[in-house]
């Protein structure tokens, strides 16, 4: 059975969207992490989160992010990644992972913390491909 992940968008703010992603393998939760995305701006390239829906995620490697995941089949968008980063300004539409939320830079917005550690945890438990369901609450 393929690993599945569900990202629930919990709180949209002016500059970002906070959420939680849960990874399930054979009916058992194997990992739960926090997410940070841009707000909903109509799926506009570089300034918006992507639309809710079901996506296939594949592991890939780049110089900038090392090992991470790319979402396939995103309508009107390409190179939507799951990668490390702490602040809304670290993403142009991708999904950032962390282990919790905290206003690191004291700008009034909660950031994701321990992002590189969260990415490492994901890479340890997730297979080369998994299915991601994104849900707007």
pLDDT, tens digit, 9 for 90 and up, residues 55-97: 999 999 999 999 999 999 999 999 999 999 999 999 999 999 9
Mean local confidence (pLDDT), 98-104:
98
Tokens 């296939």 sit on residue: 56
Rounded to 5°, angle at Cα 55 from 54 and 59:
150
Backbone angles phi, psi at 62, to 5 degrees: -140, 160
CA distance 93 to 40: 10
pLDDT averaged over every residue in the chain: 96
Both tokens assigned to 14: 């002016």
Bridge partners of 64?
A: none
Overall pTM > 0.95? yes
Return the CATH number of 4-136, one of 3.40.462, 2.40.440, 1.10.10, 1.10.3470.
2.40.440
pLDDT of residue 114: 98
Domain positions in the chain are: 4-136
Q: What proportion of the chain, given as a percentage, has pLDDT over 70?
A: 99
């Amino acid at each position: 059975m393929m690993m599945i992940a569900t990202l629930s968008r919990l709180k949209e703010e002016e500059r970002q969207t906070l959420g939680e992603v849960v990874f399930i393998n054979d009916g058992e939760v194997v990992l739960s992490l926090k997410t940070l995305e841009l707000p909903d701006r109509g799926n506009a390239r570089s300034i918006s989160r992507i639309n809710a829906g079901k996506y296939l995620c594949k592991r890939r490697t780049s110089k900038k992010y090392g090992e991470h995941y790319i979402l396939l089949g995103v309508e009107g968008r390409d190179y939507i990644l799951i990668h490390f980063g702490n602040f809304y300004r670290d993403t142009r539409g991708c999904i950032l992972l962390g282990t919790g939320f905290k206003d690191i830079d004291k700008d009034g917005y909660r950031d994701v913390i321990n992002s590189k550690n969260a990415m490492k945890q994901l890479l340890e438990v997730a297979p080369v491909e998994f299915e991601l369901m994104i849900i707007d609450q």
